[in-house]
Amino acid sequence: MGEFKKNSTITPIEESMSQWYSDVCLKAELMDYSRTKGFIIYRPYGFAIWENIKNWLDKEFKKTGIQNVYMPSLIPESLFNLEKEHVEGFAPECAIVTTGGNKELDEKLIIRPTSETLFCDHFKNVLNSYRDLPLLYNQWCNVVRWEKTTRPFLRGKEFLWQEGHTVHETEKEAREETLKMLEIYRSMGENLFAFPFVCGRKTEKEKFAGAVETYTIEALMPDGQALQSGTSHYFGQGFCEKFGVKFLGKDNKIEYPYQTSFGVSTRLIGSIIMMHGDDNGLVLPPAIAPIQVVIVTVKDEKVPELKDYARGLKAKLEEMGVRVKYDETDRTPGWKYAEYEMKGVPVRVSVGPRDRENGVLEVVYRYNGEKVSIPEEEFINSIHDIFKTIHQGMYNKAQKYLNEHIYEVHTYDELKDVLSNGRGYAKMMWDGTREVEDKIKEEFNASSRCMPFDQTPFGDVDPVSGRKAKYVCLFARSY
Amino acid sequence: MGEFKKNSTITPIEESMSQWYSDVCLKAELMDYSRTKGFIIYRPYGFAIWENIKNWLDKEFKKTGIQNVYMPSLIPESLFNLEKEHVEGFAPECAIVTTGGNKELDEKLIIRPTSETLFCDHFKNVLNSYRDLPLLYNQWCNVVRWEKTTRPFLRGKEFLWQEGHTVHETEKEAREETLKMLEIYRSMGENLFAFPFVCGRKTEKEKFAGAVETYTIEALMPDGQALQSGTSHYFGQGFCEKFGVKFLGKDNKIEYPYQTSFGVSTRLIGSIIMMHGDDNGLVLPPAIAPIQVVIVTVKDEKVPELKDYARGLKAKLEEMGVRVKYDETDRTPGWKYAEYEMKGVPVRVSVGPRDRENGVLEVVYRYNGEKVSIPEEEFINSIHDIFKTIHQGMYNKAQKYLNEHIYEVHTYDELKDVLSNGRGYAKMMWDGTREVEDKIKEEFNASSRCMPFDQTPFGDVDPVSGRKAKYVCLFARSY
């Protein structure tokens, strides 16, 4: 069966973005469905993207002094229930272990949907004096949340993520940490994914269960819907008070410290697929592409020396630090072109007998389809510049799209037009009330709202309530 | 409380190896107990050791073409039950999820104790023809096994590991893969942990549930007990037949492929602690030490320039690729010496006012307590040679210990003497019967048995049964 799969086409984006998305996930071999309903399998190609994201983020975290730890995957119900808002936020999504070693358990165990409670309980044990602060911890792990409807990478019963948890001596330091981590996430969009995230603060209603403030990064997808892609929370002292996390201060008094948490998940893979993909499949920015250059030889069955030439080319590119694949299988060049186009490999090099004689490579860029002839030596020496050009081209396109799809709305009708027609973000002066938030959600199904850092007002009145406006806020439909 | 912890001493090894081990785990801050009974917390220092192991192994795996994937953490009971021996082997240790999203589940889900069943089910979906082979997959993940008695790193209800799963066209290739992976594990002992593993084949009784052959790496601990530290299995076609994993061969016939799996876990941390530790705590080989060099300044409150000097020294060592820490806290030098001794940091450098003037460093090696004075420049330039010397010294000591604790036994009394007194391995000519295996286990509580690759016989008769001997076999008590 599989040998024929590649020839089948994927659904065009215009026809159904949702079907296109599922097709790409499967046909680019990013994932597979599993026998565990609602759980996916991360196939090598999809997992390699996650590894590239993870390696980059892990380095950035460590530069700031963050250390990795690992907490139990199961949380006793009594511990989980200590923080009221937190429990209420997560209880409906919990998977619960009731049996272990053929015996019913004395106390039910919850598979971690997030680990604040375990971290707090541990902080209580290891934190003694100001000398121990700050505690800057992170863990890479799987979490389970019992979602009803699932979509590969975007929403699943299980996903992979990092959850950072830090404890600080002062409020100022903790607030700075919250924003420092948000900045790392923003920079990840710019430098790794080749698209800009919209960054801002969440509304009271939308913030994390137990947080004082939640900051978010969102990506605007080609269908005009926002995708929440990561969050950074400032907790104040709330969790520490509930869990009894205290320390001896410099002034010799016992105090509660200030806490943060922050996380991004494999959902990021979903944002990359949708942001850059096209009707031929995935389009990956070089920084996270598992294969940055693919080499295909043409007519190598007639000119076997071509294979040696291609292997040499591969070795030279690897010396330049490039992730390169030479597909030596006996499949046709046409099959290979389609395959690596589907997989979004940024640069394809094809070499036929004549190219080899001339020492010139035929190079095709995935993101814009451009085809150029480049002398071999020049290609090898400038490969990292080529990657930069591709990255910048992809970023500029995404930035342009975002700029063109944030609409300042001054009236209810303008708001309605933007949201009902899925045009993108409606940027509105908001009175800050839950009432307006709820109304916009109900009437236009716009569940994303985010208060950008730039709060320069462009009006005095909230067009929905007619009351005095307090904040600039972005509203959009969302995933 | 914590400020005083360091001054308390740990139990001497002579008094109780078991209590010494628990003390070191806690006081070197490798782990902490958690509120989830039987589950531990990997603290930054302990987790960093695991990261160093993981990074090394991951590179070695990838050099051979292995790719990482991620499978669901939960396995439907029906899928888990497909392979009979496998189920019987693991069923008593399973943790079971019965509730998800406030609803009782239609089918119970088992938290993975290992993932053969999920891998096989996936292989069935993605394997089509010989062109897809070999499939060389690995995953890094947590697994849960409901152990009754637990000890940090050695045996827990949850641990971290890698599980490799590969599928091959031929038996020969699969058998080679099994041994190739065992060789990587052996080399990890030699090059990373600075001790030799005993490698060999497990007996019929002791092999993995569902395997045709199981190979093992074992470490002989200072108390004469063996610690199984990793396994590599050849599965033949058994799992593939049960799960319907087939492929179109080069001869155009549908065939079952040949399979392997292999894994090591955070148990390795336990073997390192016990192998090298002493009454002052942990002793780490430089290759996996999270901190390779620690700098302590003496009298820096009187000579503040010392701090700048130490920072400069740190920067120079970092440029040499060394993991170095300069502890600038206001704790006393004595506290710091004890702290980093406990943490097993291979090299300690202390700098006082006079040392700085003379440009000479006072250097202490953790593994043998040797104290030397070395001019700064020489120290920096030869730091990697110093690490090599330390590594070799640690390895030689461990190799000598192993050599001296493998006893060729020719009579039942000799066997009894070695095993009852916990002297180490009894190397015995074995008739290959389960009867003898069971008897040795029952009478001497010797649950480790391993048939080394070198099968040069040193006798004809099994001293336990009096029957004709078939194999050279190593017996020992074990963890």
Query: What angle is formed at CA B50 by the lines to CA B335 and CA B41, rounded to 5 degrees?
Result: 70
- The CATH number assigned to the domain with range A293-400 reads 3.40.50.800
Interface test with A, best of B4, B36, B75 (most A CBs within 10 A): B36
**Any idea where the domains of chain B sit in the sequence?**
2-276, 293-388, 406-476
Q: How far is A404 from chain B (nearest CA, A)?
A: 38
Residue of B194, B199, B169 lying closest to B181 (CA atoms): B199
Q: Which residue is listed with tokens 């979509």?
A: A151
Judge: A160–B70 Cβ closer than 8 Å, yes or no: yes
The strands making up B425-430's β-sheet, listed across from edge to edge, are B67-68, B135-144, B158-168, B258-265, B226-236, B213-220, B198-201, B448-452, B471-476, B425-430, B406-408
Residue A151 is given by DSSP the state B
Q: How far apart are CA B331 and CA B339, in angstroms?
A: 11
CB atoms within 10 A of CB A460: 9
Interface test with B, best of A97, A106, A243 (most B CBs within 10 A): A97
Q: Would you state the pLDDT for residue A221?
A: 96
Q: Would you state the pLDDT for residue B1?
A: 34
CB atoms within 10 A of CB A5: 13
Residue of B222, B220, B232 lying closest to B176 (CA atoms): B232
* Interchain CB contact of B35 with A (< 8 Å): yes
pLDDT tens, A376-386? 999 999 999 99
Distance of CA A171 to the CA centre of its chain: 28
Q: Checking phi first, is residue B140 left (phi over 0); if not, alpha (psi -120 to 50) or beta?
A: beta
Question: For residue B298, what are the contacts with CB-CB under 8 A and spacing of at least 6?
Answer: B306, B333, B350, B351, B352, B353
Predicted confidence (pLDDT) at residue A157 exceeds the cutoff of 80: yes
Return the exposure string of A386-402: e unless at least 16 CB atoms fall within 10 Å of the residue's CB, then b. Answer: bbeebbebbbebbeebb
Q: How far apart are CA A143 and CA A28, in angstroms?
A: 25
Q: Would you state the pLDDT for residue A2?
A: 39
Question: For residue A412, what are the contacts with CB-CB under 8 A and spacing of at least 6?
Answer: A463, A464
Task: Write the class of the CATH domain A405-476.
Answer: alpha beta
Predicted confidence (pLDDT) at residue A17 exceeds the cutoff of 90: yes
Residue A5's pLDDT band (boundaries 50, 70, 90)?
Answer: very low
Q: Tell me the percentage of chain A whose pLDDT exceeds 90.
A: 90
Q: Would you state the pLDDT for residue A1?
A: 35
Predicted confidence (pLDDT) at residue A373 exceeds the cutoff of 80: yes
Q: How far apart are CA B313 and CA B328, in angstroms?
A: 13
* Interchain CB contact of A94 with B (< 8 Å): yes
DSSP B369-411: --EEEEEHHHHHHTHHHHHHHHHHHHHHHHHHHHHHTEEE--S
Predicted confidence (pLDDT) at residue A184 exceeds the cutoff of 70: yes
Residue of B205, B201, B359, B343 lying closest to B284 (CA atoms): B343
Predicted confidence (pLDDT) at residue A322 exceeds the cutoff of 90: yes
Q: What type of residue sits at position A468?
A: K
Q: How far is B195 from chain A (nearest CA, A)?
A: 26
Query: What angle is formed at CA A96 by the lines to CA A93 and CA A98, rounded to 5 degrees?
Result: 165
Tell me what the pLDDT averaged over chain A comes to: 95
Q: How far is CA A361 from CA A352, A385, B202, B437, in A?
A: 9, 17, 54, 65
| Closest residue in chain B to residue A92, using alpha carbons only | B101
Q: How far apart are CA B54 and CA B94, in angstroms?
A: 26
Bridge partners, A162 (sequence order)? A140, A264
Which superfamily is assigned to B293-388 in CATH? Anticodon-binding domain (3.40.50.800)
Which residues of A fall within a CB distance of 8 Å from B53?
none
Of A43, A101, A126, the CB nearest to B146: A101
Question: For residue B363, what are the contacts with CB-CB under 8 A and spacing of at least 6?
Answer: B347, B348, B349, B371, B372, B373, B374, B379
* Rg from Cα positions in chain B: 25
Q: Could you report the predicted ipTM of this complex, rounded to two decimals?
A: 0.95
Q: How far is CA B130 from CA A6, A300, B65, B170, B248, in A?
A: 17, 21, 17, 10, 6
Bridge partners, B262 (sequence order)? B164, B232
To the question of pTM greater than 0.80 for the whole model, the response is yes
Tell me which residues of chain B, numbers 154 to 173, contact chain A at a CB-CB cutoff of 8 Å: 157-158, 160
CB pairs < 8 Å spanning A and B? 194
Q: Would you state the pLDDT for residue A208?
A: 87
Which residues of B fall within a CB distance of 8 Å from A93?
101
Judge: B41–A118 Cβ closer than 8 Å, yes or no: yes
Q: How far apart are CA A149 and CA A37, in angstroms?
A: 11
In order along chain B (479 residues), what is the average pLDDT of each group of 10 residues? 54 95 97 97 98 98 98 96 85 95 95 96 96 97 96 97 98 98 98 98 90 96 96 96 96 97 98 98 98 95 91 97 95 95 97 88 97 96 98 98 97 96 95 96 92 96 97 96
Question: For residue B18, what are the contacts with CB-CB under 8 A and spacing of at least 6?
Answer: none
- The CATH number assigned to the domain with range B2-276 reads 3.30.930.10
pLDDT tens, A199-242? 999 999 889 888 999 999 999 999 999 999 999 999 999 999 99
Which superfamily is assigned to B406-476 in CATH? C-terminal domain of ProRS (3.30.110.30)
Q: Would you state the pLDDT for residue B104?
A: 95
Tokens of B321: 């690729």
Which residues of B fall within a CB distance of 8 Å from A129?
2-3
Which residues of B fall within a CB distance of 8 Å from A47?
67-70
Q: Would you state the pLDDT for residue A224?
A: 95
Q: Would you state the pLDDT for residue A7?
A: 47
Q: Would you state the pLDDT for residue B356?
A: 83
